[in-house]
């Protein structure tokens, strides 16, 4: 088992580029990580990945002057003004474990319709059935979905990932533990940390 660091994750992504890589499942890993993208992004964070849709992105929260793979992960969903942020892992490994079955595009549904999202989060068949209204996906979609599923399976093997045992409870715990650490500021007040590159 390899510790999932950003460098290891980038290497994994490159090795699977012929299958569409992690971006096919909604995880476009940045190289290097970036300063906050906007007012919905916690000021005290570094953006390390995005989904490629609706500016949804993932960042490491600065805890005690550290933003790295051991930091809590915050998902930012700017299009949802009611709840634009959700803590989705206490580390990179825990975050990856959250998306290892149905991918990372789908995680934004946790801030829109948590009950529905939790029902499909670790059930690939139910997820596909919901996405296609109970019908079999068209052949082209089916090929892409299978390639996505294969990459996610390889991700779980490479980093020893396991789906969360009780996602509803764990998300609540993460919010209680880390929600108050999210420090927001307008883009003009964001300060980069030039000494740090992830």
Tokens of 10: 């980038």
Question: What pLDDT does residue 80 have?
Answer: 92
| pLDDT per residue of the chain (198 residues) written in tens, 0 to 9 | 456 899 999 999 999 999 899 999 999 999 999 999 988 999 889 999 999 999 999 999 998 888 889 999 999 999 998 889 999 999 999 999 999 999 999 999 999 999 989 998 999 998 898 888 888 889 898 899 999 999 999 999 999 999 999 999 999 999 999 988 887 543 334 444 434 566
Which pLDDT value is given to residue 194? 38
pLDDT of residue 196: 55
Q: What is the pLDDT of residue 180?
A: 85
Those residues with Cβ within 8 angstroms of residue 22's Cβ, 6 or more apart along the chain or in another chain: 9, 12, 13, 16, 28, 29, 104, 151, 155
Q: What angle do CA 162, 164, 169 make, to 5 degrees?
A: 170
| 28-34, strands of its sheet edge to edge | 28-34, 45-50, 57-61, 73-76, 85-89
pTM score: 0.90
Q: Is the peptide bond before 32 cis (omega within 30 degrees of 0)?
A: yes
d(CA 98, CA 124): 13
């Amino acid at each position: 088992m390899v510790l999932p660091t950003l460098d290891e994750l980038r290497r994994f992504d490159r090795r699977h580029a012929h299958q569409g890589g992690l971006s096919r499942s909604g995880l476009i890993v940045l190289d290097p990580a970036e300063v906050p993208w906007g007012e919905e992004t916690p000021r005290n964070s570094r953006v390390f990945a995005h989904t490629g849709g609706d500016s949804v992105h993932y960042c490491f929260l600065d805890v005690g002057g550290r933003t790295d793979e051991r930091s809590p992960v915050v998902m930012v969903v700017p299009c949802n003004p009611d709840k634009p942020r959700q803590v989705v892992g206490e580390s990179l490994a825990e975050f990856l474990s959250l998306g290892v079955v149905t991918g990372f595009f789908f995680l934004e549904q946790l801030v829109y319709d948590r009950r529905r999202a939790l029902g499909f989060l670790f059930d690939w068949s139910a997820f596909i059935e919901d996405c296609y209204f109970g019908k079999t996906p068209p052949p082209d979609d089916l090929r892409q979905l299978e390639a996505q599923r294969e990459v996610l399976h390889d991700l779980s093997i490479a980093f020893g990932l396991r789906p969360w045992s009780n996602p509803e409870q764990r998300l609540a715990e993460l919010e209680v533990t880390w929600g108050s650490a999210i420090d927001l500021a307008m883009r003009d007040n964001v300060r980069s940390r030039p000494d740090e590159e992830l």
